[in-house]
Each structure stands twice: as structure tokens, then as C-alpha cells.
A = this chain, B = another copy of it.
Amino acid sequence: MTASGTPVRQSSVRAHNLALVLRTVANSADRPSRAAISLATGLTRATVSALVDDLIAGGLLTEHDPAPRTGAGRPAAGLALSPSGPAGLGLEINVDYLAACVVDLTGDVRHRFVTQGDQRPLSPSASLASLGGLALQALEAASADGLAIAGAALAVPGLVAPNGIVRVAPNLDWQDVDAPALFNVLPGLSDLPITVDNEANLAALGELWADGGEQSFLYVSGEIGIGAGIVLGGELYRGGRGWSGEIGHVTVYPDGRPCRCGANGCLEQYAGQEQIAADADLAASALGIALAGVINLLDISVIVLGGTYATEFPRLRAGIEAELARRVLTAGLAPVTLRAAALGPDAAMRGAAGAVIQELIDDPAAFLMRTP
């Protein structure tokens, strides 16, 4: 018998509603009152009060003085995510740099550490040890601010299995690297929960959570390889095995240039980092052809270009848009938005830290349970 779904008990009701209230505060532009939350969520004021009390006691929300006087009535106490609440540690390993950042509950980047350096000659454990050094610096800086780190997430340029093992990262020359195990073995980092994810996936999440991020878009990251993160309805789509987004090996010219993957005419052979420098027009056209296919298939109306594509955006835009106008079936019915990534090269690291924060916001009950 296949049991799908899980039962709902009263405690799940509370967990759901705690998350609902916290999310409402997080998504709010101003500092909402309990009454405003009640109106927005449909919960009664009494229930909202009870839930807010728990969230304040747990250090996730803070109460502020009422800022603007508006009309009659008792002034409302403004609620906001607590900047001194649990924070997330975002980590990134890429071909030519390591990075770490501390992001608090409100989404502010509190600390940021980057070290340049080619990782290709180093072993995975050497790279992860260097990264561990950065992580310790970040932990120390966070601790000096009175911030507790709830967890860490690591962005890597490769295919990652659900258990955090990096199956293959071609440009780092990694194969079957158990990144969480190698990271947690370092002194001082043994009990820091860490998740690992693909760089483009996390960068896409970073863009999703950045100011003005759309709910559905395709994030395309042009590094040495080309990866994509697919965000549908505010959620990252990971695919059956977590290997979605390999847009670099979508065929553009069936009988075109041979690719290192064995096929011919892959996008990567026309719109990779080197190819952009050599012939920007060809890169834009190839990218446009591939993106049009994605749009026809997924009915996505926003494309976000990251990595090298973000810096080269002015040179690529016209060429891409020309192909989209020609090849997207519904181009006449509704426009496609093409824009550069708002976070630039920090997107993946920011997304990683954000993923830790988001997990807290999506399930505050689990956090409150851990720290009573």
C-alpha cells in the first residue's frame, strides 16, 4: 500500500499557522500589527496574538513602537523579523574563489568573506578545509554580533545528490565527494548542519528572495559551464533526481560543434564564457534559441541572466530578444521579460544563506521545538 501524504493533527495546525504568520510578516513591506496579520491571513486576532507571542518568545519576531499616527484608535505595535534571531551561513565553492556570508533573519548580509584562488589544483578536502577557515571567521563574526547560526548551505558547480554528495563537478574535477562529511570533520564545525546544492539552483533562489523577485522564472548562469535554476510558483524545481537545469547541453545546432559530453551542437559550445568573448552575437543567438524552447515548453515569462551573462548583459540582450520574438509562440500574446541578475556574482552565496533562513521561516515550529 502506498501512503501518500501525512496525517494532520492539532500540532500540525499550529505549525502551519505559525509559519503562516511568520511568512506574512516576512512578505510585508511595512511592519504589520497583529490586527493587520489577522486581516491578511483570515485568522482571528486572538489566534494571531497567541502565535505572535510564541514567535516573539522564540526570538523570531520583535515588537516595535508604532511609527506613524493614523486616525483614531489604540496605536498598533509593529512586528518585524528579528535581526538578532537565528542567522544562516551561506557558503560557495567555485573554480576561482571561495566565499562565505552571514545573513540574518531579515535578509541582511551581516558579514561577507571572499578569497580568490584557483581551486582546480586542490583536492576536495583541501578546498573544503580552506572553506572551513572562512566559515570559522564567519561564525566568529556572527558570534560577536550575538547571532546564532542555525545552519549552513553550500553552493557547488556540479550535480548534487539528495544526501549532499557531489556526484560530479566537472570544472572542479570532483567526483563523488561527500562534502558534508568532509566539512563536518573540521574542528569547530562538527555540529553545524550543512546542506549542499547546485550553484545555479541556489543562485535562482537568491534571485527569488531578492527585492522584486518574480515567482516563476528561469535563472541562467553563464560560468565556464552553463547551468539553470527553474523557479515555478515561488518554488525551485529540482527534477526527479535533482539534476534539472542542464541547459548547457540542450541542442542548438544538431550537426554543430562537438561537445565534451559527446553530442554535437550543445548550447555550451556557443554561449560558454570563451565563446561570448569570441563572438557575442553568436552566443546571444544560440542562447535565444535555447531559451525560446524553454519558454514554449514551460510557459515561463521571465528569464534572469546571471554569472558572466549578467556582466555581458548589454552586449547580449538585443540578440537574445530577437530570437525570442521570433521563436516564442505566445510572444504576441504576452511579453517575455529578460533581465540581468540583481545580486550579480553573490547570488549563489546569498541564495545558500537564504535557503537556511527560508527553512526557518517555512517551519518555525521545528525551530521553536529545538530551542524552548
A–B pairs, 6, beta carbons within 8 Å: A2-B28, A4-B27, A8-B16, A10-B13, A240-B299, A293-B293
- Interface stretch among A54-62, A110-118, A127-135, A248-256? A248-256
Nearest 8 CB-CB pairings of A with B: A239-B299, A3-B40, A244-B299, A250-B293, A246-B296, A243-B299, A263-B327, A249-B329
Q: How far is the CB of A247 from chain B (nearest CB, A)?
A: 6
Copies in the complex: 2
CB-contacts of A234-273 with B (<8 A): 234, 237-247, 249-254, 261-264, 266
In the bound complex, do residue A2 and residue B17 qualify as a contact, i.e. CB atoms below 8 Å apart?
no
Identify which of residues 33-57 in chain A touch chain B, using a CB-to-CB cut-off of 8 Å.
36, 40-43, 47
Chain A interface residue number, banded: 35 or more
Docked complex Cα distance between A36 and B2 (Å)? 11
A241–B242 alpha-carbon span in the complex (Å)? 25
A32 contacts chain B at the CB level, 8 A cutoff: yes
20 A-B pairs besides A1-B30, A232-B237, A297-B297 with CB distance below 8 A are A1-B27, A2-B27, A3-B42, A4-B24, A7-B20, A7-B43, A8-B12, A8-B20, A9-B13, A10-B10, A228-B297, A240-B300, A243-B330, A244-B298, A246-B297, A250-B296, A251-B292, A253-B254, A264-B326, A290-B293
Question: Which of A9, A289, A298 gathers most chain B CB within 10 Å?
Answer: A298
Select one of B2, B238, B294, B334 contacting A297, CB under 8 A: B294
Q: Assess the A242–B299 pair: CB atoms within 8 A.
A: yes
Given A251-B327, A299-B242, A299-B243, check contact A8 B1 (CB 8 Å).
Answer: no
